[in-house]
Structure 1
Amino acid sequence: HLGSAAEYGPGRPGRRTTESAATRPLGPYGATKLAGTVALTSAGLDAVVLRVGNPVGPGAPATGLPGRVTALLRAAGQGTGTVLPLGDLSAYRDFVDVRDVARAVALALTAPGPLPPVLNIGGGEAVPVRTLVRKLADAAGFRGRIEEDAAGSARSARVSWQCSDITAAARALGWRPVHPLDASVAALWAAGVPARPGPEGERVP
């Protein structure tokens, strides 16, 4: 089962979150993901939940931050007078390449023996969202101005830090992320996004 780091809720700045940490999701997405985790781990099934960080890479949907910013950059073009209005980008997130997530799934499915009930799958590092957006803008050749609006996502303001401890996945699956963020961003930009950004006036994230 693919879970989400959103199940943990706010992390402690400067600390990596382990699988034994308390779960305090702040929104419907994290809460429903947690409900799925609880259903599986309490059913006595031969199952494992891979708690995924913030995926980045080819095929990212426009409903998530990386895909939405990519779509907005494509629509904005490269003019020097262009302004890209986004939300507050000061939060830290644990980004992981979608190809590394897929490899973790394959390893979990073919594991020869029982696995821990929950394993974190992330990059293992906290990266400012502002850094991801800047890397995407560079990949796009964007020469305009990125304008942050403090009235962005309330959830981002409440969850200012997310960083997963991925030690258990390395031990149980022999898995570690191999795609650096620069490679993930380059692949995302090269592949494009399958959907348009949100309604006019909507702020990201």
Structure 2
Amino acid sequence: MTRYLLLGASGFLGRHVGDRLAAEAGAEVVTAGRAAPGGDRPHLRVDLAAVDADRLAGALAEVAPDVVVNATGAVGGAPAALAALNVTAVSTLAAALSRVDRPARLVHLGSAGEYGLVERGRPVTETTPPHPVGGYGLSKLAGTEVLRLARETGLDVVVLRVFNPIGPGVPASSLLGRLVEQARAAEIRLGPLGDYRDFVDARDVADAVVAAATAPRPPWLLNIASGRARTARELVTRFLEIVGSTAPVLEAEPGSDRSAQVPWQQADISLAARTLGWRPRRDLDTTLADVWAAVCVR
């Protein structure tokens, strides 16, 4: 039996990861966070942004996980809030893991935002130099650097740099979430849609988490994406075709500063394919259809 401790189980990615872990034969899933995500899984109440390493180490010793999955993180807010969850909490977790007698692998969800501004038209590999823009990308990269240093002192860690996750239950604040909310409107108002993104189904991300958790000796840093760059406009067009909407799309709303500074994102996923045996299984149309189906049954 493999025991997983899942941090951030109530978030978008965390929910999909939790469901996927629970489906593994012989798996036991314990969640941890400030609030229980619901369901009947055992839950450890802890605020990762506030707890100290000794107390967290005690909790880890009590749960005795084989694998810790960190799906926590802040995507917006003041710099202090970003640093608290994306850097300080990661450092605390690494320190706590180093203090327990029973070794556990850490699978940490990083972000494409760590790469930031890259060469247009060229997929990024794990060795592409990062040039993050804004507090989110900078703080996520800082968290990854903390784990790189911890790895050099013995921590068993895999960082999955997740690109643009979409899927059922997508956050309302995201592009697809805003589109879902307006899908039945007479007209759809969004920001600029010309930037390229590498969209990946959150359920495929969850598959990658399991693969990284169980692989014998995986690389410490892996890109998790579809491997294809698409404009946001293509995503919107395909979704509206699936929904059956002919509403005009007005690119009249202000876009986010962070997105505007990064016009191109595309991942090279060959390392994950080669070392984990992982590739995304769901194409864009399948994901978008499932997003809409989930909305229709709400």
With structure 2 as the length reference, what TM-score do the two structures score? Answer: 0.60
1:154 deviates by: 2.5
Counterparts of 1:10 and 1:121 in 2: how far apart (Å)?
A: 18
> C-alpha separation between the residues in 2 aligned to 1:95 and 1:11?
17
Partner of 1:117: 220
Partner SS state of residue 222, structure 2: strand
Q: Which secondary structure does the structure 1 equivalent of 2:123 belong to?
A: coil
User: Aligned ranges for residues 58-97 of structure 1 at < 5 Å?
Assistant: 58-74=168-184, 76=185, 82-97=186-201
Give 1:81-160 correspondences, 5 Å limit: 82-112=186-216, 114-149=217-252, 151-160=254-263
Structure 1, unmatched stretches of 5+, are: 77-81, 194-205
175-184 vs 61-70, greater mean Cα deviation: 61-70
Separation (CA, whole Å) in 2 of partners of 1:42 and 1:176: 28
Q: Which moved more, 1:95-104 or 1:32-41?
A: 32-41
Deviation by residue 1:131-190 (Cα, 9 ceiling, x = unmatched): 001112122222221011374222222211000010110111011111111111111111
* Cα distance in 2 for residues equivalent to 1:175 and 1:24: 27
Cross-structure match for 1:169: 272
Q: Matches of 1:53 and 1:165 in 2, distance apart?
A: 11
Residue from 142, 146, 154 that aligns with 1:35: 142
Q: Return the letter of the residue paired with 1:130.
A: R
Query: What CA distance in whole angstroms lies between the structure 2 residues aligned with 1:191 and 1:102?
Result: 18
User: SS at the partner of 1:25?
Assistant: coil
How many pairs were matched up? 187
**Higher RCO (C-alpha under 8 Å, 6+ residues apart):** 1
SS where residue 20 of structure 1 aligns?
coil
1:38-61 CA-to-partner distances (Å, cap 9, x unmatched) read 111111210010000101111211
**TM-superposition CA deviations, 1:41-92 (whole Å, max 9, x none):** 1112100100001011112111222222212225x2xxxxx22111110000
The 8 Å contact of residues 88 and 153 in structure 1, kept in 2 or not, is answered as no
Unaligned runs of 5+ in 2: 1-107
Q: Determine the C-alpha separation between the residues in 2 that align with 1:69 and 1:151.
A: 15
> Which portions of structure 1, spanning 4 or more consecutive aligned residues, are displaced by more than 2 angstroms?
149-157
- RMSD, matched Cα: 1.7
- Name the aligned partner's letter for residue 73 of structure 1: A
TM-score (ref. length: structure 1): 0.86
Contact persistence 1:11–1:163 (CA under 8 A): no
Q: Which has more radius of gyration?
A: 2
Q: Which moved more, 1:30-39 or 1:150-159?
A: 150-159
